[in-house]
A and B are shown apart, each in its own frame.
Chain A
Amino acid sequence: MKAIRINQPFNESLRELLRSLLEKGKVGAVFALTRIGSGYSYTLITDPKLLDQITPIDPYMPVGGGKMLSRLTMIEPLTQPIAAVIRPCELRSLYELVKLEQANLDNLLIISLTCPGVRPIRGLATDRGETLRECCQICDRFIPEKSDLTLLCAGEDGNVSTILINTEQGERFLEGLPFDYVEAELKVPEGLKESRKKKRQETFSRLKPEDLGMEGLINIFGRCIGCHACGRACPICYCNLCYFDSEESESHPKELATDLELKGALRLPTNTIFYHLGRMIHVSLSCVGCGMCSDVCPVEIPVGTIFTRIAESGQKLFDYIPGRDLEEKLPTSTFKIEELKDLGEA
């Protein structure tokens, strides 16, 4: 496979690549992770001088990059090309958002990487060391699906950067830029997939159906304060006005009175379990397992772990991998006449 090689560490190499793209007018802007003060944020940069500040490969994901790109492209496609550096799960979420008609890929040059994982953003404020997000530890889809360019990152020593050219678009953007072309293969550390899969099984085995049930759910979400941050951070949860924030979901006084009469008590805010179950049903088919929800949970509920576990089973039902292929329709927006024949008949 055709690739370019830059004899510098990852961040520096990407800066060089992006600077070339910007200075040669191949792209009008760059979308990448940037270190800002004590934290990180995605930024959109048009001034090549400011590219020194981007840190695309630093192991943090402050918000879902797919969701940010959806915000940039939702109303109208981009009018000038943008080069975006995002991780594989962010790319999958972007594809899902395209299917959900919330994003547009026109004029977007996608640069992704074989992803070693990211650390919880909270780690920047506390001294919690360098542990990866739990969702990253159990992620076995760390190779990007159909990115234009792929930086080989996971398991590399980081002195030399190899960037694979996967698409014609990628090749077109690189034309005339002063880089060394080499032949390289997509490679990931040996055994990484297997060990991640094993960890995934182990983690999921702690969440067996027989251990869950309503009691189990109440236990897991017992700490939930109803802030809905998980939904806000979720790249798939795109509704501007969520049902659970709408007036419709507010409890009518009569309803509250009935509940109180029946149960003698009421949890406030209401609808805690309803919210999480509702989200599981609404978004789990498109859940890319990025772990943003766990990351932003102020009371540290492992939302993402239970979501990926439930999502996986729903996705298996329809043999669907979110973000694998743009041509693959969302399972609930299509059907086959000859399927699920026994449902509804008995």
Chain B
Amino acid sequence: MKGLDIHDRPKKLRGSSHSRNPQSSVFIPIRFLNTTSVDPSMASDYSGTPVTLDTINPKVLNCEYAVRGEIVTLAQNLQQELKENPGSRTFDEILYCNIGNPQSLGQQPITFFREVLALCDHPAILDRAETQGLFSADSIERAFQILDQIPGRATGAYSHSQGIKGLRDTIASGIEARDGYPADSNDIFLTDGASPAVHMMMQLLIRSEKDGILCPIPQYPLYSASITLHGGTLVPYYLDEATGWGLEISELKNQLEAAKSKGISVRALAVINPGNPTGQVLSESNQREIVEFCKKEKLVLLADEVYQENIYVPDKQFHSFKKVSRTMGYGEKDISIVSFQSVSKGYYGECGKRGGYMEITGFSPEVREQIYKMASVNLCSNISGQILASLVMSPPKVGDESYESYFAEKDAILSSLARRAKTLEAALNSLEGVTCNRAEGAMYLFPRIELPKKAIEAAKAANTAPDGFYASRLLDATGIVVVPGSGFRQVPGTWHFRCTILPQEDRIPAIVTRLTEFHKGFMDEFRD
């Protein structure tokens, strides 16, 4: 049989428990398909068919995405078990702390945004008197304003492939208000979430495995997965845990040189600010160094800024990379920057809407044409998401009828997130062998666990990475789902896990208790 035989293929197997340890042999993923209609005899012989594991695109086989990886599969099976046998465990529900999905854990959407979206979805009711009794006046006004920017008020029509012009204008104004530097709506590409925009840039930049993209370690695995899918090479730069996940330019330089010496053409630098999973907010001076580095080394700066509204510490502030470059006097001809923003995070947490954009600056018209062309193959992003992106970048202002309630909702969410971040951070730091940097921003905590030798051995025996082992034990004992650090990569020999700060505030004490009890039990079992 031509192609890769399943037992010979490279060790990059699906699942978050995969470690870089070459000893881990073939891992059989737990089947999540609960289908009852698969005929067992069918499953056995697909060898003659065109699309089998041996013959699919190997880049698909090689890519991984731990956030929804194996631990989640285990959790779903456990959830099913709890449903079928209630009371079979000491806990009665699964707590998904693996994914930045606020509204799945009870966070409420911003009322004003939803009012406007509902009206744009069903404009037929705008002219009815009763509608005024159901919606705030300024949401009705904003809906009219938005619909006037859409030809024929047709929200069900494909738009311009970059997104509706009027909405891009609004976003550009929002960027300018935020940064103090002008933004051009022609630079903006609205996408179904920020992730497709990242994919587009990888598609554009990566020509072969000789093309490298500098990525932070630990990193959000969209980057590693996308680079693999596009056949490129990830060039890691390590964030320094000891200094609050600091980014050292010397580290960037060393990694760049090392990659070059291996014949890799490094094309871009990805920076996630605020960081994911690490939560650090870069200082402005650090950002300046990074801009200078990209300019000097002629790297495209991929600035993932989706957590720009999630800052929890008074001593840090968000500055967009574009703003920092402009402040340094650098313009279009000096540096190429792609800034990514999303409606999924912040205080709005509208993950399911798939709204986002990238702002591209410092690119020639010919290249812009190519980016436009790629965007056009998918025609356009979903209109409702586009509208939401414009709302996020131009929310109610002081004096607007909805401003007070909007601000109250926003403030409640953000201050609650800040409190939860602190509470969980303190709880983690109180655990034996666990140290946790503070979450300055974003939505996660990324504690480091010193695993005892016995635990590491037990993990090996179970064919799992040590942090994966810890995470599955945690799940089993408490129903809490976290993502093992291996899913984000880490300094070899160190172990972490990522836990979101998103469960509702009143659940946090119970989570802390369960986690603490579990950890004590785990350490009792495996302590040296």
- A and B bound? no
Binding site for A on B (CB under 8 A): none
